[in-house]
Amino acid sequence: MLVIGALLWVASVVVTGLTGDFNLVPTVVLLGSFLVPVTAVIWYLDHYESPTLSGRVVLNGFIVGGVLGLLGAALLESWLLGRGPLVFLGVGLIEEAAKLLALVVVAWRVPRVSIRDGVVLGAAVGFGFAALESSGYALTALFSASGGRLSLAALVETELLRGVLAPLGHGLWTAIVGGVLFSTTRGAHFRITKALLAAYVGVAFLHALWDSMRGIALLLTILVTASPLRVISTPEGTVIAPTPDQVQVYTVIDLAGYAIISVAGLIWLAVVWRRSPHPTPQAIGRAEIA
């Protein structure tokens, strides 16, 4: 699925570039934004069998949960967020809360007998959110190019970057919270526990670090090189002109930061996953009765 989808996406980009037919842009956007998230959800379904978590429920998580999470996050961010140094922390708290609430809505009637069911369903919600969000970023990149012209190159660059990073972002973070959410469930009702609150705050913090990594890398670059960034005046305005050493240091710190955040999330997910054995028929029956 991943290889065939990638080939179709490349073909769509090439044909759009050769013909200049921007009626093909939705094809490029949808293929590029949904390919990795959909492949990841299919991978989960291929490698994990659950007698209580059907493909229909996972699909509901991807579509319904993704849309509800995105809409909820958009509303809360427009009402609550302002400008300031803590804006990325606010984004992390709001978006992770919106996805958690969407997960609760989707999973309300699902028998909760396995932490791993929560991981898979949480990942589906997170990947649905990521796919829809990437579509928006891709269209924004297309229409916000300098000079007022539509930029296919900016769209492709955005989709490539977000596609590569998709498994390390929303899907990973919501999978962690989903596993913890299902682990704290007793009977037919979800419970707000210290473990769930800790998981929510933790993934929101990882989210905030991820979004602010470029700014952190820039600050650390200035500290490490012990020299401020050069500012050059041009007819169009002032531009930042870092030295070659600063560019090198910035790139290393930036990539290292994303790698550390990703590894921390993956280790956390592995710990949550290993906490739960595969559900037994007796456990399934008890959950359905409850």
Instruction: Give the model confidence (pLDDT) of 125-184 as tens digits.
Output: 999 999 999 999 998 888 875 555 778 889 999 999 999 898 999 999 999 999 999 987
For residue 254, the model assigns a pLDDT of 93
Residues 256, 202, 116, 102: what is their CA dihedral angle, to the nearest 10 degrees? -110
Q: Is the pLDDT assigned to residue 74 strictly greater than 90? A: yes
DSSP element (H, E) containing 232: strand 230-234
Tokens 């996972």 locate to 58
Residues 217, 219, 222, 223: what is their CA dihedral angle, to the nearest 10 degrees? -100
What share of the chain in percent tops pLDDT 70? Answer: 87
Helix (H, G, I), strand (E, B), or coil: what is residue 230? strand
Helix (H, G, I), strand (E, B), or coil: what is residue 54? coil
Identify the band that residue 288 occupies on the pLDDT scale cut at 50, 70 and 90: very low
DSSP element (H, E) containing 231: strand 230-234
- When the pLDDT of each residue in the chain is averaged and rounded to a whole number, the result is 86
Q: Is the pLDDT assigned to residue 253 strictly greater than 90? A: yes
15: nearest Cα among 25, 6, 5: 25
Identify the band that residue 229 occupies on the pLDDT scale cut at 50, 70 and 90: low
Mean pLDDT of 245-262: 92
Lowest mean pLDDT among 41-50, 107-116, 271-280: 271-280
Structure tokens at 265: 């999330």
Cβ atoms of 284 and 51 within 8 Å: the answer is yes
Q: Would you kindly state where each structural domain of the chain is located, as residue ranges?
A: 2-211
119: nearest Cα among 66, 182, 198: 182
